[in-house]
Amino acid sequence: MQIAVHYDKVHPPRRIDVAEASARAVVALLAAPESAPGGPWHDAVEYWRDGRIRKLVRRARGRRWDEIQELPGVTVAQDGPAGWGRAEARAIVPGPVRPLPPALAKTQVEGTHFPHGGELPPPPAAITAAVAKDPAAARGIVLTSDSASQQAPVTVEVTPLEEMTSGKLCAQVAHAAQLAWESPQLPTDLRERWAAQGYRVRVVFPSEASWRNRPRPVSVVDAGFTELDGPTETTRACW
């Protein structure tokens, strides 16, 4: 499954918001009527789910982003704290890695980085420049790396033991959200509430002690094909 994220250097979103939007887009695609038996996406989705599930995150800007909207899939957009750009992600109906649709082939995979949003590391140059030009602008920018989705029914925890690029983070958070949606342990009433919220998730970064001592009903173990050595537990989900 290809996931395209909107990359805006001038008004960037935070990486946590992009990761949450990616997760929501994936679950929304799987839960869509088009993915149900008899729907136009069903066969492609089931073929993908029956094999080795892979997600590849690509970044797109400007016209490239507009072209990707024409591909079958689901786009989710969500706002972050004041002063940050809107996070947008589109989950594309699974298909072969080659040949790619032209709109996807023109996008980039490696080096996808979004700002954390907190005091450290520093905010991106676009925000720094705005504040330098008008110091009062700082009052409209909330510097925090915490999730803005505090009331989300499902929480995804990210390992504190590994470093991941923004693209890898998006893929791992999306995988945890998918497994939560597929879990038979997820209560029916909570599933309905989750759907009513557009499958909103809250991403958190626990301490090492919490990560080591608090197992969760969903665990994602990366096979190590890209970026990380495998097998590596990357994310967990709970509700």
Asked whether the beta carbons of 29 and 181 are under 8 A apart, the reply is: no
Which among 24, 11, 3 is positioned nearest to 149, based on CA atoms? 24
Banded model confidence at residue 126, pLDDT cuts 50, 70, 90: low
Record the pTM. 0.91
Asked whether the beta carbons of 230 and 224 are under 8 A apart, the reply is: yes
Average pLDDT taken over every residue of the chain: 91
Q: What is the pLDDT of residues 168-207, one digit of tens each?
A: 999 999 999 999 999 999 999 999 999 999 999 999 999 9
Asked whether the beta carbons of 29 and 95 are under 8 A apart, the reply is: no
154-238: in CATH 3.40.309.10: no
| Strand, helix or coil for residue 125 | helix
For the chain, state the CA radius of gyration. 18
- Cβ burial, residue 38 (10 Å; 0-12/13-18/19+): exposed
Q: What is the mean pLDDT of residues 89-106?
A: 93
d(CA 228, CA 226): 6
Q: Structural domain boundaries of the chain?
A: 2-105, 154-238
d(CA 130, CA 142): 14
Q: What token pair was written down for 124?
A: 């991106």
Banded model confidence at residue 130, pLDDT cuts 50, 70, 90: low
